Structure formats: structure tokens, C-alpha cells
Structure 1
Amino acid sequence: MALPAAAATIVEHTFVVSQMNMTHLCKETVLTVVNGQFPGPMLEVTEGDSVVINVVNMSPYNITIHWHGVKQRLSCWSDGVPMITQCPIRPGHNFTYQFKVDGQEGTLWWHAHVGCLRATLHGALIIRPRHGAASYPFPKPHREIPIVIGEWWETDLVQLERSLTHGDFDYYPSAATLNGKLGDLYDCSGAMEEGYVLEVESDKTYLLRFINAALLSEYYLKIAGHKFTVVAADANYVNPYTTDVIAIAPGETVDALLVADAPPGRYYMVALANQPTIINPPPPKTITRGIVQYKSSNGAMGVRRSPSYEEEQAPSNDVPLPAMAPEMPGLHDMVTSFDFHGNLTGLRHSRGPSVPTHVDERLFITLSAGSICRQGKSCARTDTETIIVVTMNNVSFQHPMDARTSLLEAHYNYHGSDWGGDMDLDTLPDRPPMPFNFTDRALIPYGPKEERLEPTEKATTARRFRHGSTVEVVFQNTAVMQTDYNPMHLHGHNMFVVAQGLGNYDAARDVAQYNLVNPPVRNTVLVPSLGWAAVRFVANNPGMYIGIYSLHPQYNNF
């Protein structure tokens, strides 16, 4: 007998954005947060609910909030992208976001969409099924736990954004975090930092909702002595996939079942940032760990009792069991990430979308680095006159110059007949201006070989798509002055990830390997280091959205 559906409701919250002091690593740092929390408050809604969030900006910075992965069907005004869908919320002002969560269920998240402030302004967004946990396409878990992977920055995040804008990428976080805690790999004057603790009971199943809210890095996550069964990614179900490691890039979410089937004890949960680029001097290793701790039959949590001389004698103090640590992938191991993402396939069910087989528009987009003059014109690199930027098809995005009107407002005010008034938008090119061996490692260091590929330009670019058209995009990472992977995010839509590969994309060879049966459906797709990824999406959500862009802050191109 079918369970009755829960009635749709209006979920209302107030987000007060303010600053607070928090001390870690013996240093007091000023954080910009929501409601005094790091990470911020978790939003829990049910599919079909309407959401109303009143954001009150008591911080000294302009703020917007993006609801990462929410399709914003006919509510693109609430997508939360400064100067694209709204003007920023100024200090001392407020703005109300209103949207409905139709046709989606699973783990998403929200974050600031201004500069690098998302490093502290973020939280989980959980959409539960309309018919409850009984409708999950996997066994109902005993508990559901969000685990937010983040980074602890002692650098001023607003200054960090300015530095990245001017081509200075030599900044790194001081630590990684699990649910806001640094863990016992870090200490302050010899006192260990507090770590996240997950308490479990033997033979129970837990649904772990992983979110990577970090600014820079993909993370490998393992729990010693345990395996995961991955069941969803980016709020889309996948065919169950068993693994001992989760690979999760910035912006991605992964839902995984954990069965507490190890001998009772304490086990480290470790998150390690991988580094695709080997440079000299090397950047600091970013890692954190928490504890998975079994609850024993007598209620004690992962402790060993010392024996007593007589039965009636009181037991001695509890002694914590040592924790088992997992063996982590290598710091520069990219194969584990490539395999993890390649092994995910979409779970086909009645509520899922069908894979588009006909394509109306095709884009081939290179993700590269280049140099521009400080005035924004194309020029060869010099030590003082140029800035290193990153590009899509040799164009680095320039925010609209008119700070009074968002692109969406201008578009509607001019009835869609033009991009809007004096806002001059260029069309993002279908392909790069010149072909070359995109993954030639000789292009990584500065030198004569990459010099001819450096000159680039800044422009406010956009693409128009006819409603209902199917778009295929092939993202090609390049080796021009970098070897980064790129997590590419699309607002307002999901993407079918039909293929990924290493090296240069070759349509004559690679189209044959497209998965048009059950590809994973994502809102964020990781383009491998020195590799490529092919996606398809249907442009079926009217409005003006931020397009496909990288979640690396220095790669914020539209």
C-alpha cells in the first residue's frame, strides 16, 4: 500500500550574516558566518516545499547566497549570483530568497557567491523524498549524518579574492576541517585541536551526506576498516558502488551508506587534499581527521576497561582505545579520482530524466591559463605589466561594468530583445581560437613554447540557447602554465556526464565510448587534470543563469 505523501509546506528561515571571532591554531581569526555558526545552519526541506530565506546582512561586505544545485525552476531571481541574477545585498540591508524544490531529492548545499567568502559562509541543504525514507532506492538507514569538508583560512578572505584577481595564486589554507573541526593532527601549544566524532552502533547502517565546501581542493576521504556504498551524487541517485575511498571535488556532494560492521573500537576518518601539480617548493599538505567511535553494549564509547581484582570492586577509569588509521592514496595520485568518478552510473527509475540522444548545439571549451595587460588588453607577458588569468576558449570573464543593474534585470527590462541597454555582452566562442596539443607537458613551465598561447582577453561573455534545445559541451583541460583539475558547475540545470578521458579529446575516437544509457547526472562535473569530460544538458529552464564555470576561485570564468 502506498504511503500518503506529506503535504507541501512553506519552510522559512532568517539568515543573519555577521562576523565573529574564532580561535584555532593559537590564533584568533575573524569569520563571516550565518547565525554565528561554522559551518552554517543546515536547511531540511521536503520535495515540493516552498523555501523562503530572509538574508539580513550585518557584515561589512556585499553578500549573496547561492542554493547550489537547486534548479530554480521559474525562480532564477533567487539563484543568488551577484550582477547576474541580482545586485549584491549591501551591508545593513536584507533580501528575501523564494524558490520551490520540485522534482529533486538528496544532498545539496548553500554558500556565499561573493569572492572567497564561501569558505566560511556555507551549509548543508537536504531535500527529503515526498514519501519519506521508505522510498529511498536503498535500505533505510538508521541515521543520516551530513559531513561538510572545509578549509580553515587564517588569511583575510576578501584580500585573498583581490590577490587571486591580480594573478597571485600563492595562498593556501592553514588546515582542513570536518564539520568545522580541525582534528588532532593540529595543535595549539601542544594541546590537540578538537576533532569531529561520529558515534555508531554495531551492525547499524548510516547514510553519510558528504559535501565538499573547500575553496581549492578535491579531497580523498576514507574510514579505516570500513567501506562505503555510494548511492547518490549531487542529489541524483546512482547505481550502488562499493569503494573504500570517496573522491569529492569542490561543489560536489556524495551520499554513501556506511555499515558499522567492524570490530567495536575507534577508527580514524581522514580527509586528504590531493595535489595534481608537483611544484617546487611544494604547497603544504592539507589533511584532517575525525573519529568513528563504536558504542559498546554497556553504553561506553570506544573504551577499554582495566580489569578489577574482585567482582565487587569499582572499575578503574576508562582508557580510550587507540584509533586505527587508514592508508590514504598518494598526495599526487589522480588515478583514484579518475576511477571514482568514472565508476559512477546513474540509477534509472521512473522519476529520473531520460538521456538526450539528439544534440542541437555543441561547444568545445578549453580550460587554460593566459596573460593580460593590467588594462585588460591582450599582450605578451612581462614581469610588471601583465596578470596571469584563467580562461575558457581564451577569454577570461569580466563582470558587468554597470554596478546598478543585474544582467537578469536588464534582460527582462528590455523584453529579451537584446541583452539589455548598454550592457555589451559578447558570445562565448564555440571553440578555442587555435588548435594545439592541449596536454603537452612542455607547456606547463613558462617558456617560449607556451608564450605564443599566453595572450588572452577579458570580456563579459554569454550564450543564448533556444528553450528545449540539447547542448553538448566537451571540457578540455590544458597544460598551459598549469595542470589543475576543474570542477565545472552549471546553474539551473543538471548535466549528464556521458564520458571522461585523459589526454586530448578526439571525437572520432571518443564519441564511441559515450554512455547514453545510464550516465551519472550531476550539477558539478570534475574535468580531470590534463584530461576532458563530455556533458549534455537540456536548456529547459527559462531565464538568465550564470553559465558553466569552475568552482576554483581563481578559475571563476563564465
Structure 2
Amino acid sequence: MPGFAFQLRAICTLLAVQAALGSLRTFNFTVHSAQRSPDGYFREVYVINGQQPGPMIEVDEGDDVEVFVRNELPVSTTIHWHGILQRGTPDMDGVPGVTQHQIPPGGNFTYRFSVKDEYGFYWYHSHFRAYYNDAIRGPLMIRPAPSRRRPFEDMAASRVEREQLLQAERDAVSILLNDWTHDLSDTIFSRYLETGAFPNCVDSILANGLGRVECLPKYMLDAGPGLGLTDEVNATHHNPTATMATSVMQMPTMARRMEDPADDNPHGQMSMPPMSTTNPSESTMSTTGGMTMPSSDTMGESDTMGESMRLGPRGCMPPMMFRQGYDINSLPSETCVNTTSQQLVVNANVSQGWLALNLVNSGAVSNLKVSLDSHSMHVYAADGLYVTLQEVKVLEIALGQRYSVMIKLDQPAGNYYLRFATYPNGDMQQVLEGQAIVSYNTTGNDTQDISVDPMSVWMLTNGSATQGANELVESRLAPFEGNRPPTTVADVTRFFNINQTGIVTWVVDQYPYTEPTIPIIYGNRSDGWNSNTTLHLPTNSTVDIVMNVANSSMDTMGHPMHLHGHKFWVLGSGSGSFPYQSVAEAPSSLINLDDPPYRDTANLPPSGWLAIRYITDNPGAWILHCHIQWHIVSGMALVLVEGEDQLDSLIRQGNNSDPTTPAISGTAPSYIANFFGILVALGTVLNALVVFS
């Protein structure tokens, strides 16, 4: 039967082509409430399928993804796929009021999108109010195609080591780091709106939903956010290339908290009674270098800088900005009680030679510094994409950012602390450290015995690097293989003045963002289509966005800025205002058009500027916002629309045929999965017939 066999082989070839184009990966999420104690303190949490963090979504480059989300919470929610471009599926981005309606209690929504030509480490989270703070978050890994070159391959000294590195990447451990509070986000948000006191203070830092409360000893609290070190030393976390003075090395043992703090805190508990202010009605602040300081007329004569810089029991500076009629006495008393709950343990296979970690800062307010005692980290990917290798001891991760690192397992058998610490930054004046444990080559796997060499701890408790510990330099994270920006003059240049215009109002440019009733993706049917915070851009154009922290801002802190629907080139950043009318006018010492980083989340420095470039080649309505939760819910966002004439043809009506009302009920769709399953089964049978014939 040669003719029949030929036909069968042809059909099999077609099926193989179909498989090569990607598989359909389906997932079912139920979002619900539960009681958990991730850091030893029980509270209500919002979880996915009973998990904190949510389930890992792991797919291959080129796959199609379908996620059915059922909402069993008492509140609405959505799911945003952070960093996924959503090409051709702009209504699947998961932003209420922009790309979809909220998923109401008892409702559901099915997300369908492709990850064609996308790879690397991402994450997903709720994008409604601040509910991802309550644990609606999880990891998303797109396994790169085998044909892609990896930056770390150049580190291999042999073919065997190359295979070890590739295997380490395949086995990479994904870790979601996040700050954690003991109150629900709605409680915190309500208190913020009422009092005006910025909710910067958190209770702990979790790694994959595990952590503990660790109260600082009294001498650290008395020393303030700088731990009593010199300004020169504390400046090093702003300048990764700086080197600490030799005299500083008298301090790290103290700052690393190596000794037993029992003498300072015999009961493992601290509390602070509410403090009064000289003028409770005062809400005007002055700022210095991005750090909020009380204006002179709000400080009593007896106040000293030392007293004003003391930390509260949780390692926080007390808030100094309130609505009229409120003061520190309007807030709950601050306490800190140590817990001994479980920490995350990462088991490393020493015979493999290398360990890979995927790290994301999935928190609400805290930028983090990360280090692994006694080890270097080789950064090989940023925001999902391969970058030129950079070896670091201390890795800064802004909110929303991701890094993949390779670690050589070349130390003596033992357990080593993976440390993550907040660091003082504008309103976020908190000193707090958490740890996970990297364990390898240990007998019985006893993780109670931690190897701590004080000279191989690269980071102080406040996130500052110790002498000689090199930090990540973000501006040097060039794309691994080309991907240069257009070097011609941009078609459009927009300047945005990032500003705190009121006690609880933050803006990207002049106007606070509010969620439209009908999603913007539905065009002029949306009440947000012609809003002051919706900007319409030409299609297939080069766009430069220059963000400046406004001089008039009530707080001049920095901001982690995230753009949906795009990666962008980070052309440059600096202190002060951008002094040019366009990127084209700026010198090459400020602007990098040769090999700038290619990210989806970038840091706007305190009292500084940030210039990014992207191409409007992805029709949709894409939100640009600060990833500090209390900023976006207070208005710090705007929407950039491109390809508006194509939106109607791209919107899928499968979830809801009426754009003015959300879907309430339904079942998980399975027809596509069933059809693909039939194709796979048919392919298997036909292959067997070919072999038999």
C-alpha cells in the first residue's frame, strides 16, 4: 500500500507541523478566601486553588495558553499576566476598566493568549485594587526554544559543564519575593484614604509564601534607617560602583545582626506607644534627596535629627504626612513579635555543579536587595529576556522586575542564607530583612545548621552592600543578541511629570487615573476613551517617553514604572530634571542608543528622570503605571492606545457579547482542548499505521 502509506505520512507531517507551532496549555483557577499564617501570624488571605503563591504556569515558547478563572471571593478581581505582550489579544491583559470588566464574586473569565516568540520568567497577579497584596499572585515560566542561544553557555569550560548549565536552567527554582502585612489590603487602603498616612510599613518578607517576623534589636532601631553608618556608606546603594571607606568595616558585624540580640530584646517583642506631633493638622512636607522630612514649622524645639530618625518596632520611620485632623495617634500602635515559622529551603544538587534561580519582586511597596552568602550570582536574564552576563554579589530588584541568575555550587557542604532586604527609599523608610535557605551537599539535610561567615555576607540589614560586594548595574544589562532600538529621531515624544499632587493623590501626568465603567478597549463606547488619562498614539511609530519627578511633588521618591503590552528600551536615567526638549538633543553620555536594556519595568530615580523608547506595533490599550500598589490605586497611571482602528477586530466576545456588562456565570471551555487532543490521538494512530504498513 505505498500510495496509502504516502498519504498517511503526509497527514502525519501536517500534524507534526501543527505540534511545532505550539500546543494548547489549559489551566483552571479558583480564587477563594482562606486562613493562612505564612509568617507565623494567622490572617485571611486570597489564594488560587488553595495555594500561596498560586500555581506555577509552565509552558513552552510558541504555546497557546488558556486559563479559566472562577472568582469565589467576596470581592471582584482580575488576573494580569505581567510582561506578556498579548499580541493579537489586547483584551486578555487583565486590567479592569482598560481591557476587561472586573470578574465579580461568583463570576468567571477565560483568558486565552499566545506566547509565540516569547520566553523566560514572568508572573501573574490580580490587577484590581490592591488584592494581589492578599496573595493573588503566582509564577509563569515560558521555557525557551532549544534553538535559542543562552548567555551562560560562554561560562562553560567543557561540553559537560555546558550541559550542566542547560540542565540547571531547565531545573531553575522560581521564587516569588514579596513584602507581607498582617492586615487585608482593603483595611490598609481604607486607613490610608482616611488618614493620609502612607502605608509603607510591612510585617515581613516572604519567599514563595514562607517567612517569619524578625524584629530588629534596639540598637538598630535607635540608629535609624542608615544603621548609624556614614552618609558615604549609605550612598553606596544608590551608586553600585562606589566603594566603602575602610573605616566602615568596623560596622558590618553589627549591621549584619550576627550576634544574639537577646540583651536588647529579651522577650522577642517590641511595641511603641503612639507618638504625638507638634501640629497634627499640618500636611505640608518638604523633601530632601527623595527622602521625606518634616518642614521646619512642624518640628518641635526639642526635636533632634537623631530622635526623628529612630525606627519603630517594625523597623519603620513613622509617617510624617497626614490629612488635616489626623496624626500618628490616629494609627494603630505599632508592635513587633518574633515568629519561628518555616522558611523556604532550596535544595541544590551539588553534583550538577550549578543552581539557577528565577527571582521576582512581587511585593506591594518594597524594593528589595538580594544576596546569597558566600556565592556570586551570574545574571543571565532580566524581565524574561536573555542579557549580557553580569556577575554580582548584591542584586537590586524593583517591584515587578524579574531576574534569572546562575550560581556555581563551589562552596563547602552546608546551608547558606539567601537574604532579601528592603532599603530606605523615599516614603519606604523601613529596615527589614528576610531569608530563605540554599541547602546543598549536607548530611541528613539539616537546615537548622546555617553556614555564616561574616566576611562572606555581602549585604547589611538595610540592603547596603558591604565593602567589595559588587551590585547590579542595570544600565549594563544589554540584550544578549542584538535588539537595538531605532536610532532615528522619535516620531512622538511625550514628557510626563510624576507628581504627588495631594495627600492621597499620585499622577503620571497632571491628572489622577480612575477606572472607567466600560473598558477602554471597547473604543468610544467607553467612558474612558476620551479621558485626560487616555492618550492616543499613531501606529507603527517610534515613541519616546521621558518621565520626570516633578519639583512640585509633595514627595520626590523614585518609582518602578511598568508598561503593559510592550518591552521598551531604557535609554537613560539620572538625577534632576531632564534638561532637553527631546532625546535627540541629549548627548551620548546621557542617552544610550547602542545597546540599552530592554525591559517592561524600570526604575525612575528619586528626584530624577527616566527615558524609554518603544514602537507602537501592538494594537491595544496599554496601561503605564507605578508598581507601588498604593500609588496606582491613588491615581498614578495612564493608558496609551495604539492601533485603535484594529481594536474591534481583535476583541474576542467569547466571555461576554455585551461590552457594557460583565459576565456572571459559565463553565470552563474545553472544545479547543478536546479538538487538539483528538488531533494528537489521531496523529498517534496514523503514525502506528505508517509503521505497520
Same fold (TM over 0.5): yes
Q: Deviations over 1:264-292 (max 9, x none)?
A: 22211110011213x7xx95423201111
Secondary structure of the corresponding residue to residue 536 of structure 2: coil
Identity %: 26
Give me the whole-angstrom Cα distance separating, in 1, the residues matched to 2:501 and 2:116. 41
Aligned with 1:551 (options 619, 627, 633): 627
Deviation at 1:355, TM superposition (A): 4.1
AA aligned to 1:426 is S
Deviation at 1:555, TM superposition (A): 2.0
Counterpart amino acid of residue 105 in structure 2: P
Contact 2:66 2:110 in 1 (8 A): yes
Offset of residue 485 of structure 1: 1.5
**For the Cα contact (< 8 Å) 2:423–2:430, is it kept in 1?**
no
Match in the other structure for 1:348: 481
Deviation at 1:135, TM superposition (A): 4.2
Given the alignment, which residue of 568, 571, 577 partners 1:498? 571
Aligned to 1:270: 419
Give the letter for the 2:188 counterpart: L
Superposition deviation, residue 354 in structure 1: 4.8
**Alignment counterpart, residue 172 of structure 1, candidates 175, 195, 201:** 201
Q: Using the TM superposition, give the Cα deviation of residue 94 of structure 1 relative to its aligned residue in structure 2, in angstroms.
A: 0.7
Question: Superposition RMSD on alpha carbons, in Å?
Answer: 2.7
Is residue 294–residue 302 contact of structure 1 (8 Å, CA) maintained in 2?
no
**TM-score for the superposition, normalised by structure 1:** 0.79
Q: Distance in 2 between matches of 1:86 and 1:321?
A: 48
Q: Which residue among 604, 609, 614 is the counterpart of 1:527?
A: 604
- C-alpha distance 329-502 of structure 1, shift in aligned 2 (>3 A): farther
Secondary structure of the 1:464 match is strand
Residue 490 of structure 1 and its aligned partner are, at CA, apart by: 0.7
The 3 A distance-change label for structure 1 pair 257 and 357 is farther
Greater helix content: 2
Question: Which residue is equivalent to 1:257?
Answer: 406
SS in 2 for 1:138: helix
The answer for the alignment partner of 1:38 in structure 2 is: 52
Structure 2 residue identity aligned to 1:485: G
Instruction: Indicate the residue corresponding to 2:67 in structure 1.
Output: 53
Query: How far did 1:512 drift?
Result: 4.6
Corresponding residue to 1:398 among 499, 502, 514: 514
- Report what 2:124 is aligned to: 110
Match of 1:518 among 585, 595, 607: 595
Matches of 1:56 and 1:497 in 2, distance apart?
37
- What's the CA shift for 1:205? 1.2
1:416 counterpart residue number:
none
- Whole-Å separation in 2 of the counterparts to 1:34 and 1:287: 27
Alpha-carbon distance between aligned partners in 1 of 2:630 and 2:125, rounded to the nearest angstrom: 17
For residues 177-211 of structure 1, what are the alpha-carbon distances to aligned partners after superposition, in whole Å with 9 as ceiling and x for unaligned? 11111148478987612111112233611221001
Stretch deviating more after TM superposition (74-83 or 336-345): 336-345
Match of 2:616 among 517, 536, 539: 539
Q: Cα distance 1:465–1:268, how it changes in 2: closer, same or farther (>3 A)?
A: same
Q: 2:493 aligns with which of 337, 342, 362?
A: 362
Question: In structure 2, what is the equivalent of residue 156 of structure 1?
Answer: 184
> Residues 208-247 of structure 1 correspond to what in structure 2 (within 5 A)?
208-247=357-396
Distance 1:92 1:106 in 2: 33
The 3-state SS of whatever aligns with 2:188 is: helix
- Classify the secondary structure of the residue corresponding to 2:172: strand
- Bigger radius of gyration: 2
Give the distance between the partners of 1:359 and 1:89, measured in 2 at CA. 39
The aligned amino acid for 1:492 is: G
**By how many angstroms is 1:538 displaced?**
0.3
Correspondence 1:384-395 to 2 at 5 A = 387-395=503-511
Q: CA deviation at 1:484?
A: 2.0
- Counterpart in 1 of 2:210? 181
Count of paired positions: 472
The DSSP-based 3-state class of the residue aligned with 1:554 is: helix
CA contact (8 A) 2:558 2:605 kept: yes
Maintained 8 Å contact 2:540/2:615: yes
Q: Which residue of 1 aligns with 2:341?
A: 193
Larger mean CA deviation between 70-79 and 167-176 belongs to: 167-176
Name the CA shift for 1:55/1:264 in 2 (closer, same or farther; >3 Å).
same
The SS at the match of 1:544 is strand
CA separation of 1:295 and 1:421: change in aligned 2, threshold 3 A? closer
Identify the structure with the greater strand proportion: 1
Bigger relative contact order (CA 8 A; separation at least 6): 2
Q: In structure 2, how many angstroms separate the alpha carbons of the residues matched to 1:291 and 1:512?
A: 41
> Given residue 194 of structure 1, which amino acid in structure 2 is its aligned partner?
Q
C-alpha distance in structure 2 between counterparts of 1:184 and 1:197, whole Å = 17
- Separation of aligned partners in 1, 2:213 and 2:199: 26
Q: 1:159 offset after TM fit, Å?
A: 2.5
**2:449 corresponds to:** 320
The whole-number CA distance in structure 1 between the counterparts of 2:475 and 2:54 is: 32
Q: Distance in 1 between matches of 2:526 and 2:185?
A: 34
1-structure distance, mates of 2:441, 2:30: 37
Greater mean deviation of Cα atoms: 177-186 or 521-530 = 177-186
Per-residue CA deviations over 1:192-238 (Å, capped at 9, x if unaligned) read 12111112233611221001100001100001100011111111211
Deviates more, 1:192-201 or 1:530-539: 192-201
Once residues 364 and 347 of structure 2 are traced to their aligned partners in structure 1, the CA distance between those partners, rounded to angstroms, is 28
Verify the 8 A CA contact 1:148 1:212 in the aligned structure 2.
yes
Q: Distance in 2 between matches of 1:337 and 1:217?
A: 21
Query: Which moves more between the two structures, 329-338 or 101-110?
Result: 329-338
Normalised by the length of structure 2, the TM-score is 0.64
